[in-house]
Structure 1
Amino acid sequence: MSSPKPELSLYRLIPDAPATDPNWDLAPSQGIVTVCAYSPADARIVAAEAELDFLDIAAKPGDGTSTKMASAFRDEKLYRVEEIEQGTSGERGVVQHIPQEDLIRGKG
């Protein structure tokens, strides 16, 4: 017997830190993002996976090095997650478009 499939919900990731927070220097705010995910933690992963990554562009910090773990969406001090609809139908993923522009920053 298989266990029941987890239920998807809609979550909104909302920038929570002030614009002057130094953490935005490395991970710029992308505004409010809505995702369909299994949990608040999964919502952060879904949003981070939708971002532009070093592996998606020609400029790489090193072979096989991803920037997904450095996403602002994973930082609880920068983004808060709110559940907006429980038990939604649909597929796991981003509901509101995340612009695919060069948002990768570094100190310097």
Structure 2
Amino acid sequence: MDTNNFEETIKPFFWVAHKSSFSVCLNAGSYKPEIFETREDEGFEGNGYDWGSLARVFLDERKPHLAEYVRFDPEAGMFCAYSSNPESLKEFIVDFKKACEDDAVINDLFSRAELD
């Protein structure tokens, strides 16, 4: 994977290296609010938990081979995915960001997300 522009490619998500694991996070609320507005009557707000639900559908349907490596730990104000395998997490976030930028794909995936 070309990592020269990795951090720029995944924005507004951001990469965090820890001692023995890695995280990718998003300050929830400002990125793609229109996705969650389509289901706000069901209780979706675009918070970290909602992003976690959306990311879970993406992982399960589009990247099942990464499911054993990528975990989620969202909070109200932040989405967070983490792994001890940096290459798996990088593959996940690069492809998840691409999906987020494709309205048809992300809305289709979100149609199957469940409130956390």
Q: TM-score, normalised by structure 1?
A: 0.32
* Larger RCO, structure (CA 8 Å, separation 6 or more): 1
Higher Rg: 1
* Bigger helix share: 2
Q: TM-score, normalised by structure 2?
A: 0.30
